[in-house]
């Protein structure tokens, strides 16, 4: 097993967390020894889940309603931009795609030493690149040296193929150069990726009520939703109808463009929400007891995999 990043010295790095969700990013920060002094998310269910696991730090509500913030050295944000995702419906004009403007507002108000942003990788390609460029420009004008990279969670100890954009900024008056983490798993690392079997072993085979039991629609079977036990999972999404197949399901074969079929008759099901949480890198003791089952899928699928966020933030330890 690869050695994980070390903790920062003490708990002195005061941190503001925006668009915190159920706490994937902040669980990583807690493990590294950071002190979150303000967290916010618009989802009541996600905030209650955050409190169940990380304490009553988070405030539920629209970030636009907050005008003042505590002093902090570090700012993190995982604002949604679903209009630029590579899976599901897209709407580039949706106002949710411009929540980065509120992150920029807080950045200019607090002026932390550094910040980290996580977002969907769809904005890094084609016509969508303009949204990414807008963010980079804003943050540089705010006084930060900014770099970005697309990282795949499976290269950093997560049992899932999940590519996301990370933006890291260092305040321009500080003599520190950030470097993104190198892959610890897969590729040329010499260590195989964490597999579905590694994290799902011992979990119930058929947890009735904890997964979507609707028939598989043609759209669901328009792509390969199943990976083998020894492989990482396909990307965990927030919609319970579209989460991947459990590896116990029969393999799929491609019939033609956008059409896949099971290779034989057998029991097949989508992943359960606790399985999705495990494949996102949440520890089994992390509680998901709030909201409906559908809401649990949503907040798990929208979360940042804690091991991936930890890998990104660990590169800042020399700054403090």
Model pLDDT for residues 90-101, shown as the tens digit of each residue:
454 545 568 899
Find the farthest-apart pair of alpha carbons in the chain and give their distance in angstroms, rounded: 63
| Catalytic residue, candidates 81, 137, 235, 317 | 81
The answer to whether residue 63 is domain-embedded is yes
Residues 205, 209: Cα–Cα separation, whole Å: 12
Confidence of residue 308 (pLDDT cuts 50, 70, 90): very high
Question: In the beta sheet, which residues pair with residue 166?
Answer: 118, 149
> So what's the pLDDT on residue 128?
82
Question: Is the per-residue pLDDT at 155 higher than 80?
Answer: yes
Is 166 a member of any domain? yes
- Residue 240 covered by a domain: no
Report the pLDDT averaged over residues 64-69. 94
Contact 74, 34 (CB under 8 A): yes
Angle in degrees, CA 272, 273, 279, rounded to 5? 90
Name the token pair of 200: 């799902």
Looking at residue 220, its pLDDT comes to 97
Question: What is the spatial distance between Cα 299 and Cα 304, in angstroms, rounded to a whole number?
Answer: 10
Give me 291's structure tokens. Answer: 């909201």
Band of residue 260 on the pLDDT scale cut at 50, 70, 90: very high
Residue 173 has pLDDT above 60, yes or no: yes
Measure CA 88 to chain center. 16
Tally of CA atoms within 13 A in the half-sphere of 167 that contains its CB: 30
**Domain containing residue 66: CATH number:** 3.40.50.150
pLDDT on residue 60: 97
Residue 42's domain spans which residues? 14-185+305-319
Contact between 252 and 261 (Cβ < 8 Å): yes
Does residue 84 surpass a pLDDT of 50?
A: no
Quick one: pLDDT band at residue 5, thresholds 50, 70, 90? low
Q: What's the whole-model pTM score?
A: 0.92
Name the band, by pLDDT with cuts 50, 70 and 90, for residue 187.
confident
- For residue 59, is it within any domain? yes
**Ranges 21-30, 180-189, 267-276: which has the least confidence:** 180-189
Position 97 in a domain: yes
Examine residue 135 and state whether it is found in any structural domain, yes or no: yes
Q: Within a domain: residue 192? A: no
**Is residue 81's pLDDT more than 70?**
no
Tokens encoding 189? 């690392």
Please say if the pLDDT value at position 106 is more than 50.
yes
Give exposure, 220-256, as e/b (b: 16+ Cβ within 10 Å): bbeeebbbeeebbbbbbbbebebbbbbbebeebeeee
Residue 137 tokens read as 């420009």
Q: What is the pLDDT of residue 98?
A: 81
Check residue 86 and give its pLDDT. 46
Give mean pLDDT, residues 267-292: 98
pLDDT value for 80: 77
Number of structural domains (the chain) is 1
When pLDDT is averaged across residues 103-114 and rounded to a whole number, the result is: 98
Structure confidence at residue 11 (pLDDT): 63
Quick one: pLDDT band at residue 170, thresholds 50, 70, 90? very high
Q: How far apart are CA 160 and CA 287, in angstroms?
A: 20
> Would 6 be classed as within a structural domain?
no
Q: Report the 10 Å Cβ neighbour count for 175.
A: 6
Return the sign of the alpha-carbon dihedral for residues 211, 213, 216, 217.
Answer: negative
**Mean pLDDT score of the chain:** 93
pLDDT over 50 at 1, yes or no: no
Q: Taking residues 10-30, report their average pLDDT.
A: 93
Closest CA to 185 of 176, 194, 174: 194
Mean pLDDT computed over 194-217: 97
* 235 noted as active-site residue: no
Q: What is the pLDDT confidence band of residue 12, given thresholds at 50, 70 and 90? A: confident
Q: Residue 191: phi, psi to the nearest 5?
A: -125, 130
């Amino acid at each position: 097993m690869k050695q994980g990043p070390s903790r920062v010295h003490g708990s002195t790095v005061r941190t503001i967390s925006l668009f915190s969700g159920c706490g994937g990013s902040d669980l990583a920060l807690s493990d590294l020894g950071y002190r979150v002094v303000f967290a916010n998310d618009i989802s009541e269910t996600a905030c209650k889940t955050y409190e169940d696991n990380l304490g009553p730090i988070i405030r539920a509500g629209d970030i636009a309603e907050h005008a003042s913030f505590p002093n902090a050295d570090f700012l993190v944000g995982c604002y949604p931009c679903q209009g630029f995702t590579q899976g599901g419906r897209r709407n580039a004009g949706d106002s949710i795609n411009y929540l980065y403007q509120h992150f920029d507002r807080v950045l200019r108000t607090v002026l932390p030493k550094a910040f980290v942003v996580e977002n969907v990788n769809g904005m890094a390609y084609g016509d969508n690149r303009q949204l990414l460029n807008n963010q980079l420009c804003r943050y540089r004008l705010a006084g930060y040296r900014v770099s970005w990279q697309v990282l795949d969670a499976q290269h950093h100890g997560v049992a899932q193929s999940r590519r996301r954009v990370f933006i890291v900024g260092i305040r321009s008056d500080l003599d520190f150069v950030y470097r993104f983490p190198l892959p610890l798993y897969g590729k040329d690392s010499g260590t195989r990726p964490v597999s579905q079997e590694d994290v799902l072993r011992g979990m119930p085979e058929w947890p009735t009520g904890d997964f979507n039991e609707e028939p598989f629609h043609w759209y669901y079977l328009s792509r390969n939703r199943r990976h083998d036990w020894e492989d990482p999972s396909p990307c965990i999404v927030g919609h319970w109808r579209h989460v991947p197949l459990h590896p116990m399901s029969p393999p799929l074969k491609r019939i033609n463009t956008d059409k896949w079929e099971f290779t034989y008759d057998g029991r097949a099901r989508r992943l359960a929400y606790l399985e999705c949480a495990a494949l996102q890198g949440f520890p089994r003791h992390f509680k998901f007891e709030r909201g409906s089952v559908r809401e649990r899928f949503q907040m798990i699928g929208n979360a940042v995999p804690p091991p991936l966020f930890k890998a990104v933030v660990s590169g800042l330890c020399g700054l403090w």
